Structure formats: C-alpha cells, structure tokens
Amino acid sequence: MRLKTKLSIGIGFLFIAILVSGILGILSIRVMKHDARMILEDNYETLVYSNNMLQLLDMFMEDSTSVPLFEKNLKQQEANITEPGEAAATEAVRTLFEQLKRVPGNDSLLSLIRQKIYIINTANQQAILKKNHIAEMNAKNFSNWLMIIFGMLTLIAFTLAVNFPGIISEPVKALSDGIKAIVNKDYSKRIRLSQKDEFGDLAQAFNSMAEKLDEYEHSNLAKIKFEKSRIDTIINQMNDGIIGLDENRRLLFLNKVAEKLLGLKETEIMGQYAPDVALHNDLMRNLLQTEGKEKELKIYADQKESYFHLDIFNVNNNEKVIGQVIVLRNITPFHELNEAKTNFIATISHELKTPIASIKMSAQLLSDTRVGGVNKEQEELVKSINEDANRLLNITSELLNMSQVETGHIQLKIQPVLPSIIINNATNTVSTTAQQKNISLRVINNSYNEKILTDPEKTAWVLTNFLTNAIKYSPEEGEIVLTTSIEGATIRFTVQDHGRGIEDKYLPRIFDRYFKVPGTTEKPGTGLGLSISREFIEAQGGQIWVESKLGEGSTFGFSLPKQ
C-alpha cells in the first residue's frame, strides 16, 4: 500500500472515530434530555394537578373560589392524559365533579372523586418510576457503547502511535545508512525494503544507482589497470631511463633502463624516500641535485660509457605538483655522430690549411714584381685570389678552433700581456677591410700599463672577430670605437658600432653555435665566431656580453683578469 494511502487511511480513521464519538455523545444527551422532558411533562405535571385537586376538595365547603380552581386543574389534567387508565379515571372525576357541583357537600361523591384522583396519581407515579428506569437503562447503554467505542479507538490509536513512526523512520534509517555507505565508496550496499510504497520505490532507485556506480567503478578500475599495464610496457620498451617520484619524493617506478643505470632493482627500492636511496647511490644523488635544470650526464653502465640528457618534469594535477618524472634520454648515438663530425671537420680543416697557405704564397709571389710583371687585369685576379685565400684560411681556422672547443681540448698559453699588444694585433688584421668600407677605427685605451693574464693569440682572435663583425654590420663610412678600461680586478674590452643592431629576442642566442640573426644570412660567415669567442674567454676565467638596440648599433665586450 502507498505511503500516501496509509497516511490518508490513518488520518481518515481518526476523523471518523472523532465523528462517531461526537455523534454518539450528542445522541445520548438528546435521548436522556427527551426522557427527562417526558417524565416532567407527562407525569410530574399530572401529579401537581391531582395534588392541587385533592387539596381543593378539602376546602370545597368553606371556600367558594376552590370550585373554579378545581375546574381549571381538572381541565389541565384532561389535556395531559398520557398513561393507560388515566383517561377513564379523569373522565370519572369529571362526571363526579359535575354531580358534586349540583349537590355540594355530598361526602360519598367527595370520597369517590378522591379515589379516582388517587388512581390518576398512582398511574403517573408508576409511570415516572418506569420511565426513570428506562432512562437509566438508556444512559447505561449509551455509556457502555461509548466505553466500547472509546476502548476500541484507544486501542487502534495506540497501535498506530506505536507502529506509525516505525513505518517512516525504519526506511529513512535504511536509506541514510545506504547513502553513508555510498559516500564511503561501498558500492556493494543494497537496501532491502519489502513495502510497496514510496519508500519501496526510493529503495529500488537507490539500488539501481548503487549498481550503476558499482559497474562504473569496476569498469573504470579495469580500464585504469589496462592503461597502467600499457604505459608500463611502453615505459619498459623505451631506450631512455625513466624514474617516477611522488609528491613526497618517494620512488614510484623505475623502468628497465633506469634500473640498469642506477644498478638497482625497482622491487627493492619502490616506495623508498629518494634522498635516502641517494645516500648510497651516486647517480641518484646527481639526479636529485639537478633540481629542474637540464643537464648532460656521462654514465658508465652495462660495461660501456653512454651519454644521457637529463630532464626533470613536474607532474601537475589541478595546478598542484603531485610528483616528478626524471627522464634520462639516451643521446649516445648523437654524441657518437657529433664526435665523428668534429673529427671530420678537424681533419679536413687541417688538411685544407696547407694547400690554402701555399695558394696564398703563390698569389703573393705572383704579385711580386721581382718574380715577373703582370698586367692590370692579372693583378686584379691575383688580388682576388689573395682575398679568397685569406677568407678560406679564416674559415679553416674557425673550424679548427671549433673542433678544439667541441672536443674540450682548448690549449691555453696564459701569460701577462699588455692590452695594446692585443689591440694592435687585432686592428692590423682588420685594417684593410675597414679601409675598403671607409670605416674609421677609433681606439681609446684606458688600461694604461696594466697587463692582463691571457692567451694573447686567442684573445686577439676574439677581438678580431668582434671588429670583423662590427665592420661587416656597419654602414660605409661608419665609425667603430674600441675601448679598454680597468674595472676592479679586470680589464674590459668593448667594440661599439653604429650598425644595424640586434633585436632583443635574438640576444640570448647570439653566442650559440651556428646562430645567425635572421636577415643576416646573406652576409658571409659560419655563425661560429661568437660561440668560439665565448668558449675562449670563459676558459680564461673571463666574461663576455653584448648590448644592442635595433637600428642604433651594438656593443660587444669581454673582461679578463688583471695580472
């Protein structure tokens, strides 16, 4: 039965019970009132009339007013005949009263009248007793019925009062237990309610919801397991070492390559605090010290030397870091290729140097008039051969320097040198080129007689490179200023030009290998000069920098320690 119907029946029953009790109460009061009125009207009044008539009979002879009074009472009695035999007695009183009026003082008539009045009196008294008895019986009956009905109603109300809260509270409790279980992710929870009301429907809906959640949870779990095993397989197949840490830096996983590199087994260190593992593992220590920076590592593992590029990524979830992934990318093949390339460049540059030098010498001999005369066109050709040979020599020297830098074999011959020597060396080298473009080269030497500790050849090479670039990117008839100054324990060299300048966004890459500012690619050059310059200066403990504004010119500078 529906809860709504149950509630309607309960409330309806109470309503009917109240109605029935009320009607019965009103009915019983009415019946009793009617009984009382009957006794009063029918019999009590007759007793009053008959008593009045008896008293008036006694005064009949002495008081003349008693006759009409008797007449009046008799008339009233005649109008109130209710009991059996009362009519005959009243009629006899009337006949005898009429005779007495004709012969007043007749004692036998008086006594006969009295007898008849007594009959009326007795009949009414008996009727009062009988009606009173009936009224009592009626009252008793009503009281019994009322008691029975009240008893029944109390019993039913008590049963309802005991059972009704349970009808509502039990399913509500079962439902609230079920919801709590779902909140705690216990999707196996079901509610068993046998009733077929709204609560039964609610329980059924709850069970379907829990079933769906259970299915979803299981299918998700299976999916997650499947995805995990797929990712595990991919990670283990990779040629790179991968290490996973949680947000508390505990080890979550290592792939096979990482196991080999660290010399540790995943099962042995899983869940351990990484800095604890680092205490007895050099590589792990090295990895943890890197802290987000990129780095190249040479690792000896599996009986061979390999190169790895280290990357550390933060794993984020809703902008919160929930772990880290350390990736050791195996770059050994690139290293090997690079090494082969460097060796190849070094060999070729070295091999080219001798024939180029001999071409240059032959060209110089040709232009020497002592060897023989040449005509004007031949002289131009020889000049061009000379310039090209110089350019080729510069390129081969750059490439040789580069291979030295790449193999980490920069050989420095450090000695105390006057800055003027380096300045002269560099300015002499570039003077012809500067003259060709009518560029004036101003030197402001503020280093006085202080010496720097440097490899003069390499530093002159750097300064020459700065000046060559300044000339290359300056307009015709421009000015280049070379300045030296003492800055604390160092001497600074700067080369300022008023050429095209460099866009801000390219400045951080200007010292990178092979980098040329887009738009300058038409100018001759390998893009190696500045990167070699940086290596040379930094290898001597110095610093190198650039300041530039597009359209206004650039200032390249370096500083080296004083003697």
Binding site for ligand ADP (CB under 6 A): 465, 469-470, 473, 497, 499-500, 502, 510, 515-517, 520, 525-531, 554
Query: What is the rounded distance in angstroms from the CA atom of residue 397 to the CA atom of residue 395?
Result: 5
Cα distances (angstroms) measured from residue 150 to each of 142, 158, 231: 12, 12, 79
> DSSP characters for 302-328?
TTEEEEEEEEEEEEEETTEEEEEEEEE
Write down the least CB distance from residue 385 to ligand ADP, Å.
Answer: 22
Q: What is the DSSP letter of 518?
A: T
**Least distance from ligand ADP to the Cβ atom of residue 474, Å:** 8
Compute the least distance from the CB of residue 392 to ligand ADP, in Å.
Answer: 14
Choose between 97 and 506: whose C-beta lies nearer to ligand ADP.
506
Q: How far is Cα 427 from Cα 429, in angstroms, rounded to an integer?
A: 5
Within 13 Å and on the Cβ side, how many CA atoms surround 252?
16
Q: In a 3-state reduction of DSSP, which class is residue 549?
A: strand
H or E segment to which residue 80 belongs: none
Taking alpha carbons only, the member of 393, 483, 386 closest to residue 442 is: 483
Of 215 and 512, CB closest to ligand ADP: 512
What is the strand order of the sheet 543-549 is part of?
440-445, 479-487, 490-496, 553-561, 543-549
Structure token digits, residue 35? 């009984």
**52 vs 465, which CB is nearer to ligand ADP?**
465
Beta strand pairing call for 452-454 and 440-445: unpaired
- 83 vs 497, which CB is nearer to ligand ADP? 497
Residue 475 is given by DSSP the state P
What is the spatial distance between Cα 117 and Cα 90, in angstroms, rounded to a whole number? 7
Q: In b/e form, how buried is each residue of 164-198, taking b as 16+ CB within 10 angstroms?
A: eeebeeebeebbeebeebeeeeebebebebebebe
One-letter amino acid for residue 189 of the chain = K
CB 90 within 8 A of CB 76: no
78, 72, 79: which is closest to 53 by C-alpha?
A: 72
Closer residue to ligand ADP (CB): 97 or 473 = 473
Which residue's CB atom is positioned nearest to ligand ADP?
A: 525
Rg, Å, the chain Cα set: 66
Closest to ligand ADP by CB, 456 or 525: 525
Task: Provide, rounded to whole angstroms, the least separation between the CB of residue 516 and ligand ADP.
Answer: 3
Neighbours of 443 (CB within 10 A): 14
Give alpha helix (H) positions in 238-273.
Answer: 256-262, 266-269
Q: In this structure, what DSSP letter does residue 505 have?
A: G
